[in-house]
Amino acid sequence: MTPTQAQAQPPALDTVDLGDPNTFADHDLDAYWRTLRDSAPVHWNPPVDGRRGFWVLSRYDDIMATYRDNVNFTSERGNVLVTLLGGGDAGAGRMLAVTDGHRHHELRKILQRVLSPRVLDEVAQTVRANTRQWIREAVEAGGCDFAEQIASRIPMTTISNLLGVPEQDRDFLLTQTKTALSADDEDVDEVDSEMARNEILMYFMDLVEERRESPGDDVISMLVGSSIDGVPLSDEDVVLNCYSLIIGGDETSRLTMIDCVGTLAAETEQWRRLKHGEVGTDTAVDEVLRWASPTMHFGRSVLEETELHGVRLRPGEIVTLWHASGNRDERVFDRPGVFDLGRTPNKHMAFGYGPHFCVGSYLAKVEISELLMALRDFTTGFEQTDEALRIRSNFLTGFSTMPVRFRPDHSGLKEVD
């Protein structure tokens, strides 16, 4: 049996522990997900090493239906495995991502006021200018570690500008966000991740105190001055939502950009189509997001007993919704294992769905779109020059390094933006 044939064989379902970050670092799970979709669409991941067991949904339609169902499922006991398995989320009922019902609706309205396409037009211009400057510099230098020098800068700079985070603090926050829900190496454990999450919370507590004394025109000041049903948001409310914004505003875009460059370096025909304008940027962005699926899952807890595919789900049980599988579901996507920048329709679930659809999705698409256009305009192509290191996480997937060499497009580089 060849290595390729061996890799294509799905591991036995009862040998894969989706709660273990090493599972994703050490295995190609494509065949595993295909087996689940075909034969076990509601799969039980048993308890391991003292961790609770949980249900695994792998089919696109089942995941979407669960996202829409706020009667039988809740996010208020946590929405990722690290908190669901830990017994709950401290931000429940206060942080947008783990709040349901009326308060979620009102909190979402507050955040949408500053994250809507209309409001973000000026922000988008800054994203464009920064991205084109940094790509131009990297191309003229011949190459770089794209993950470190570009992908780490674009989203963190953008969300930090919105939140009013001083420039000198951004490297610190980037280090913490990289550790909070993932790790760049095996030496980082859950204790380190918890400490990183606490560091982010404490940092924003200090910033909130400053904004209460001296408000500005940033998102933190807006949150400090907001209320729900006549009750002002508390310091804890503001801090928890800042945490959510900095994590969400960095991780999805950064990991998608890194994956995009690595994939396009290998998929030369898709790069040619993009370079020559044979595919639109909008469709390319959606395919890049589907393909990367950087957020592998979100989770819910069962509120009311319900049944799916003949399996009874009982109150209190954990249900995980796997984008990593749903975005490859043959029942929805034609040739899902093919990277196609012209794919349409492309109703991927990279941003979730339903009431908790990612409030920052527009900004993430702007960042990825500007990256693609800068690469198209300033390079004739690029290649990966060394192995990329994969992050370790049971929530996020992607790479922490991506060394690349750029081939300059001299006519594009001469143009003045």
Nearest CA among 51, 45, 47 for reference residue 83: 51
Q: What is the mean pLDDT of residues 212-241?
A: 96
Instruction: Give the number of other CB atoms < 10 A from CB of residue 230.
Output: 5
Q: How far is C-alpha 340 from the chain's CA centre? A: 20
Residue range 185-207, pLDDT digits in tens: 666 677 888 899 999 999 999 99
Q: Residue 73 is which amino acid?
A: F
Buried/exposed code over 289-317 (b: 16+ C-beta within 10 A; e: otherwise): bbbbbbbbbbbbbbbeebebeeeebeeeb
Residue 182 pLDDT grade (very low, low, confident, very high; cuts 50, 70, 90): confident
Which CATH number characterizes residue 112's domain? 1.10.630.10
Q: How far is C-alpha 269 from the chain's CA centre? A: 26
The DSSP line for 313-360 is: E-TT-EEEEEHHHHTT-TTTSSSTTS--TT--S----TT--GGG--TT
Q: What is the mean pLDDT of residues 209-234?
A: 96
Q: Which helix (H) or strand (E) holds 311?
A: strand 311-313
Q: What is the DSSP letter of 56?
A: E
The SS3 assignment for 384 reads: strand
Q: Within 148-230, where are the H helices?
A: 154-163, 170-180, 190-213, 219-224
Instruction: Give the number of other CB atoms < 10 A from CB of residue 121.
Output: 10
Burial class of 70 by CB neighbour count within 10 A (0 to 12, 13 to 18, 19+): middle
Q: For residues 96 and 149, give the distance between their C-alpha atoms in angstroms, rounded to a whole number.
A: 31
* CA distance from start to end of the chain: 54
Residue 4 pLDDT grade (very low, low, confident, very high; cuts 50, 70, 90): very low
> Can you give the pTM of this predicted structure?
0.94
Q: Residue 362 is which amino acid?
A: Y
Residues 6+ apart with CB under 8 A from 269: none
Burial class of 273 by CB neighbour count within 10 A (0 to 12, 13 to 18, 19+): middle
pLDDT, averaged across the chain: 93
What is the total count of domains within the chain?
1
Say whether pLDDT at 6 is over 60.
Answer: no
Give residue 48's domain range. Answer: 3-414
Q: Residue 416 is which amino acid?
A: V
Q: What is the DSSP letter of 392?
A: B
Say whether pLDDT at 178 is over 60.
Answer: yes
Query: Residue 367: its pLDDT value, please?
Result: 98
Q: For residues 250 and 153, give the distance between their C-alpha atoms in angstroms, rounded to a whole number.
A: 9
Q: What is the dihedral of CA 106, 154, 339, 351, to 10 degrees?
A: -10
- Strand bridging mode 143-145 / 42-45: unpaired
Burial class of 342 by CB neighbour count within 10 A (0 to 12, 13 to 18, 19+): middle
- More confident position, 188 or 32: 32
CB 150 within 8 A of CB 144: yes
Q: What is the mean pLDDT of residues 314-340?
A: 98
Query: Residue 321: its pLDDT value, please?
Result: 98
Residue appearing with tokens 């009922």: 93
Name the β-bridge partners of 295.
396
Q: What is the dihedral of CA 135, 137, 138, 140, to 10 degrees?
A: 120
Q: For residues 175 and 178, give the distance between their C-alpha atoms in angstroms, rounded to a whole number.
A: 5
- What the block records as the tokens of 301 is 């807890």
Angle subtended at Cα 282 by Cα 276 and Cα 287, rounded to the nearest 5 degrees: 90
Query: Residue 24: its pLDDT value, please?
Result: 92
Nearest CA among 283, 301, 265 for reference residue 399: 265
Q: Residue 283 is which amino acid?
A: T
Residue range 103-161, pLDDT digits in tens: 999 999 999 988 888 889 889 999 999 999 999 999 999 999 999 999 999 999 999 99
- Number of helices followed by number of strands (H, E) in the chain: 18, 12
Say whether pLDDT at 173 is over 60.
Answer: yes
Q: Which of 187-196, 317-326, 345-354 has the lowest mean pLDDT?
A: 187-196
